[in-house]
Amino acid sequence: MSHSDDSPPLLDPPQISGLLFPHMWSQWCSDAQTLLSGIPSELAAESSSSVAPQPLLLVFERWLLLLKVRGGLMHLRAYRP
């Protein structure tokens, strides 16, 4: 694929990481706070129901995914061609 003169230059991996990291970090911190505040109340309510609430599970899954993305972004920041 050729790069034409009127198209914007491509970003290198550290630049991409720098653009994505702040949003990812903010969402990860928000999810961590949600989990830290939601888990104790859910553990207390566990005796009344054997099924975990879906919203908290979704937040936990996103938190784990963002943790994995964070690791990938850290590798991109360290990338040197």
| 2-60 tens-digit pLDDT | 555 677 778 788 888 888 899 999 999 999 999 999 988 887 776 666 665 688 999 99
Give the model's confidence band at 62: pLDDT under 50 very low, under 70 low, under 90 confident, else very high.
very high
Question: 62 lies in a domain?
Answer: yes
Question: 47 lies in a domain?
Answer: yes
Question: 61 lies in a domain?
Answer: yes
Contact 79, 14 (CB under 8 A): yes
Question: 57 lies in a domain?
Answer: yes
Mean pLDDT for the stretch of residues 53-81: 86
Q: How far apart are the first and last CA of the chain?
A: 19
3-class DSSP state of 76? helix
Question: CA 1, CA 9: separation in Å to the nearest integer?
Answer: 14
Question: 7 lies in a domain?
Answer: no
Question: CA 79, CA 57: separation in Å to the nearest integer?
Answer: 33
Domain of residue 60 covers 13-78
Number of domains the chain is built from? 1
